[in-house]
């Protein structure tokens, strides 16, 4: 069986770039624990590979990622949720963000929930016009648990982060560009590849050590809130409303929340 997260290398201007590809298109590239483990192993390999000058994060299929697979976290107890899903997911995404190499998220479809959190772990983001972005967790009685709320606030400001996380409704790629959630827009898949290759050319022309040091300085803007996120997600999962949200999702009906 082919892995659900694939790593490959390609040459760019005579230098080596890495590609991380989500490979679960039949499930909208929804993230599960094996995918997080595969991503963790790939990040470990990239950390040690000085030949890799830049990394592209992309996905196969119509969606970049529809988020954390509800079948992966829905059955967990609150304690398991905090320890095995939230804290582990935060660690993996933080390791991706902390890579010394610049990381480009090439978003060829919808990036929702945990999929958006994954994209926000990249340094640069570009998306096709048809992509949508959202944090629908509150519609399931859950919260954006992999530091997404914090990253959204840093990228687009607290007011817009409130709009996205509290309403739970997606925004278009054009709005995402206007808000600063992405920094470039592509007409289609071909234009996406063209622009990504242009960025890779530029990144490969830059000094690797200087870019790594710059990323290190930018990373100091993040306070460690992983424990707070894990606690909040644990509290959310323990509510009757979250259990109702998960049931309603599986039964394909509108949830009835009772604030319990």
Residues identified as active-site? 117, 137
- Nearest CA to 192 out of 62, 105, 76, 74 is that of 105
Report d(CA 121, CA 100) in Å as an integer: 13
Angle ∠(230,179,57) on CA atoms, nearest 5: 60
- Nearest CA to 147 out of 223, 71, 257, 242 is that of 223
Cα 213 versus chain centre, distance: 23
Report d(CA 230, CA 251) in Å as an integer: 27
Backbone angles phi, psi at 139, to 5 degrees: -75, -10
Is the separation of the CB atoms in 82 and 231 below 8 Å?
A: yes
| Sign of the Cα pseudo-torsion (92, 97, 100, 103, in order) | positive
Torsion (CA) 110, 135, 181, 211 in degrees, nearest 10: -90
Query: 87-97 vs 33-48: helix axis angle to the nearest 10?
Result: 30
Angle ∠(10,60,252) on CA atoms, nearest 5: 160
Is the separation of the CB atoms in 182 and 126 below 8 Å?
A: yes
């Amino acid at each position: 069986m082919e892995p659900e997260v694939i790593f490959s290398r390609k040459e760019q201007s005579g230098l080596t770039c890495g590609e991380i590809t989500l490979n679960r298109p039949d499930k909208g590239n929804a993230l599960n624990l094996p995918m997080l483990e595969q991503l963790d192993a790939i990040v470990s390999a990239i950390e040690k590979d000085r030949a890799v000058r830049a990394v592209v994060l992309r996905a196969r299929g119509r969606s970049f990622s529809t988020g954390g697979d509800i079948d992966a976290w829905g059955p967990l107890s609150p304690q398991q949720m905090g320890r095995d899903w939230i804290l582990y997911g935060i660690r993996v995404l933080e390791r991706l963000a902390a890579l010394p190499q610049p990381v480009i998220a090439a978003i060829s479809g919808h990036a929702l929930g945990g999929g958006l959190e994954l994209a926000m772990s990249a340094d640069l983001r570009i998306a096709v016009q048809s992509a949508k972005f959202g944090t629908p967790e509150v519609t399931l009685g859950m919260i954006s648990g992999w530091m997404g709320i914090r990253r959204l606030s840093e990228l687009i400001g607290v007011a817009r982060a409130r709009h996205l996380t509290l309403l739970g409704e997606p925004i278009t790629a054009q709005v995402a560009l206007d808000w600063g959630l992405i920094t470039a827009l592509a007409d289609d898949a071909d234009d996406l590849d063209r622009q990504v290759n242009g960025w890779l050319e530029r990144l490969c022309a830059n000094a690797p050590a200087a870019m790594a040091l710059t990323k290190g300085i930018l990373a100091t803007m993040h306070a460690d809130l992983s424990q707070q996120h894990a606690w909040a997600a644990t509290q959310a999962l323990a509510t009757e409303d979250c259990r109702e949200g998960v049931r309603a999702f599986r039964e394909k009906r509108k949830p009835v929340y009772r604030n319990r």
